[in-house]
Structure 1
Amino acid sequence: MRDILVTLIVFGTLPLIYKRPYWGAVLWIWISVMNPHAQGWGFARTFPFAAIIAAVTIVSLVVQKEDKKLPMVPTIVVFIAFLAWMSLTSLFAIHLDQVYEQWNKVVKIFGMTLVVMMLLKERKHIELAIWSIVISIGYYGVKGGIFTIRSGGNDRVWGPAGTFIDGNNEVALAFVMVIPLMFYLMTITKNKWGRYAFIASMGLCALASLGSYSRGALLAIAAMTVFFWFKSKEKLVIGLAMILIVPVLLLTMPAQWHQRMDTIQEYKEDSSAMGRVNAWHMATNLAMDRPLGGGFQIYDAGVFARYAPNPEDIHAAHSIYFQVLGEHGFIGLFLYLAIGVLTWRSGSWVLKHGKHDPELKWALDLVPMLQVSLLGFAVGGAFLSLAYFDVPYYVMTAMIATRLLVKKHLKAKAADSKAAAQVAAKASQLPKQQKAANGLS
Structure 2
Amino acid sequence: MTDLALLLFIVAFLVLGLKRSFIWVLLYIYIDTLAPQTIGWRFVAALPVSLIAFCAAFGGWLLVDNKKGAQFAFRQWLLVALLAYCAFTTFGADFPAEAAHKWSWVWKALLFAIFVPLTLTTRLRFEAVLLTMVLTAGAIIIDGGMKTATGGGGYGVLSLFVNDNSGMYESSTISTVAIAIIPTILWLVKYGTIFRPDWRVKTFAGALIFSCLLMPIGTQARTGLLCIALLGILMLRDTRRRFLYIAGAGLLGMAALPFVPQSYWDRMNTIEDHKEDESASTRLAVWQWTIDYAAEHPLGGGFDAYRGNSFTYRMPQRVDDGTGESVRMTTVTDKGRAYHSAVFEMLGEQGYPGITLWLWIHALGLWQMERIRRRWRGRTAEHEAWQAPLAVALQFGQAIYLLGSLFQGIAYQPFILTLVGVQCALWTYCKRTDSQKPESPRAAQRRRRARAGQNAVAAQAGALR
TM-score normalized by the length of structure 1? 0.89
- Give the distance between the partners of 2:372 and 2:304, measured in 1 at CA: 39
Q: Deviations over 1:209-262 (max 9, x none)?
A: 221100011111111111122233443432221121123324531222111101
Task: Give the C-alpha shift of residue 129 in structure 1.
Answer: 0.7
Q: 1:237 aligns with which of 228, 241, 244?
A: 244
In structure 2, relative to structure 1, the CA distance for the partners of 1:315 and 1:93 (3 Å cut) is: same
- Give the distance between the partners of 2:312 and 2:356, measured in 1 at CA: 22
Task: Give the C-alpha shift of residue 265 in structure 1.
Answer: 0.4
In structure 2, relative to structure 1, the CA distance for the partners of 1:22 and 1:313 (3 Å cut) is: same
The reply to whether residue 380 of structure 1 matches residue 404 of structure 2 is yes
The reply to whether residue 269 of structure 1 matches residue 276 of structure 2 is yes
- Give the distance between the partners of 2:69 and 2:86, measured in 1 at CA: 24
- Give the distance between the partners of 1:355 and 1:290, measured in 2 at CA: 46
Q: Is the 8 A contact 1:152 1:252 kept in 2?
A: no
In structure 2, relative to structure 1, the CA distance for the partners of 1:74 and 1:158 (3 Å cut) is: farther
Q: Which structure 2 residues correspond to residues 199-278 of structure 1 after superposition, within 5 A?
A: 199-250=206-257, 252-278=259-285
Task: Give the C-alpha shift of residue 420 in structure 1.
Answer: 8.5
In the alignment, what sits opposite 1:33?
A: 33
Stretch moving more, 186-195 or 216-225: 186-195
- Give the distance between the partners of 1:113 and 1:171, measured in 2 at CA: 20
Q: Deviations over 1:126-149 (max 9, x none)?
A: 111111111111111111111111
Q: 1:304 aligns with which of 306, 309, 333?
A: 309
TM-score normalized by the length of structure 2? 0.84
Task: Give the C-alpha shift of residue 268 in structure 1.
Answer: 0.7
Question: SS in structure 2 opposite 1:134?
Answer: helix
In the alignment, what sits opposite 1:346?
A: 368
In the alignment, what sits opposite 2:144?
A: 144
- Give the distance between the partners of 2:65 and 2:151, measured in 1 at CA: 54
In the alignment, what sits opposite 2:126?
A: 126
In the alignment, what sits opposite 1:12?
A: 12
Structure 2 residues without counterparts, runs of 5 or longer = 314-331, 450-465
In structure 2, relative to structure 1, the CA distance for the partners of 1:226 and 1:18 (3 Å cut) is: same
One-letter amino acid of the counterpart of residue 164, structure 1: G
Q: Which structure 2 residues correspond to residues 50-89 of structure 1 after superposition, within 5 A?
A: 50-64=50-64, 66-67=66-67, 71-89=71-89
Question: SS in structure 1 opposite 2:273?
Answer: helix
- Give the distance between the partners of 2:112 and 2:26, measured in 1 at CA: 12
In the alignment, what sits opposite 2:394?
A: 370
Q: Is the 8 A contact 2:179 2:212 kept in 1?
A: yes
Q: Is the 8 A contact 2:71 2:118 kept in 1?
A: yes
In the alignment, what sits opposite 1:117?
A: 117
Q: Which structure 2 residues correspond to residues 92-107 of structure 1 after superposition, within 5 A?
A: 92-107=92-107
Question: SS in structure 2 opposite 1:9?
Answer: helix
Stretch moving more, 171-180 or 211-220: 171-180
In structure 2, relative to structure 1, the CA distance for the partners of 1:70 and 1:323 (3 Å cut) is: farther
Task: Give the C-alpha shift of residue 21 in structure 1.
Answer: 2.8
Q: Is the 8 A contact 2:3 2:44 kept in 1?
A: yes
Task: Give the C-alpha shift of residue 351 in structure 1.
Answer: 0.8
One-letter amino acid of the counterpart of residue 309, structure 2: F
In structure 2, relative to structure 1, the CA distance for the partners of 1:11 and 1:362 (3 Å cut) is: same
> How many residues are paired up?
421
Q: CA RMSD in A?
A: 2.5
Q: Which structure 2 residues correspond to residues 328-339 of structure 1 after superposition, within 5 A?
A: 328-339=350-361
The reply to whether residue 392 of structure 1 matches residue 416 of structure 2 is yes
One-letter amino acid of the counterpart of residue 318, structure 1: H
- Give the distance between the partners of 1:358 and 1:308, measured in 2 at CA: 60
Q: Deviations over 1:147-172 (max 9, x none)?
A: 11111756753454455123222221
Q: Is the 8 A contact 1:157 1:208 kept in 2?
A: no
- Give the distance between the partners of 2:443 and 2:280, measured in 1 at CA: 63
- Give the distance between the partners of 1:82 and 1:68, measured in 2 at CA: 27
Q: Which structure 2 residues correspond to residues 144-183 of structure 1 after superposition, within 5 A?
A: 144-151=144-151, 156-159=157-160, 160-162=162-164, 163-183=166-186
Q: Is the 8 A contact 1:70 1:114 kept in 2?
A: no
Q: Is the 8 A contact 2:306 2:348 kept in 1?
A: no
Question: SS in structure 2 opposite 1:331?
Answer: helix
- Give the distance between the partners of 2:119 and 2:253, measured in 1 at CA: 39
Q: Is the 8 A contact 2:3 2:41 kept in 1?
A: yes
The reply to whether residue 314 of structure 1 matches residue 319 of structure 2 is no
- Give the distance between the partners of 2:152 and 2:109, measured in 1 at CA: 37
- Give the distance between the partners of 1:150 and 1:332, measured in 2 at CA: 44
More helix by share: 1
Task: Give the C-alpha shift of residue 192 in structure 1.
Answer: 0.9
Question: SS in structure 2 opposite 1:19?
Answer: coil
Question: SS in structure 2 opposite 1:223?
Answer: helix
4+ residue runs over 6 A deviation: 307-310, 418-422
Q: Is the 8 A contact 2:22 2:65 kept in 1?
A: no
More strand by share: 2
One-letter amino acid of the counterpart of residue 181, structure 1: T
Task: Give the C-alpha shift of residue 186 in structure 1.
Answer: 1.7
Question: SS in structure 2 opposite 1:312?
Answer: strand
- Give the distance between the partners of 1:21 and 1:68, measured in 2 at CA: 15
In structure 2, relative to structure 1, the CA distance for the partners of 1:207 and 1:56 (3 Å cut) is: same
In the alignment, what sits opposite 1:361?
A: 385
Task: Give the C-alpha shift of residue 403 in structure 1.
Answer: 2.2
Q: Which structure 2 residues correspond to residues 288-303 of structure 1 after superposition, within 5 A?
A: 288-300=295-307, 303=308
In structure 2, relative to structure 1, the CA distance for the partners of 1:269 and 1:355 (3 Å cut) is: same
Identity of aligned residues (%): 23
Q: Is the 8 A contact 2:126 2:422 kept in 1?
A: yes
In the alignment, what sits opposite 1:325?
A: 347
Task: Give the C-alpha shift of residue 4 in structure 1.
Answer: 1.8
Q: Is the 8 A contact 2:16 2:23 kept in 1?
A: yes
Q: Is the 8 A contact 2:93 2:301 kept in 1?
A: yes
Structure 1 residues without counterparts, runs of 5 or longer = 426-441
One-letter amino acid of the counterpart of residue 242, structure 1: A
The reply to whether residue 408 of structure 1 matches residue 413 of structure 2 is no
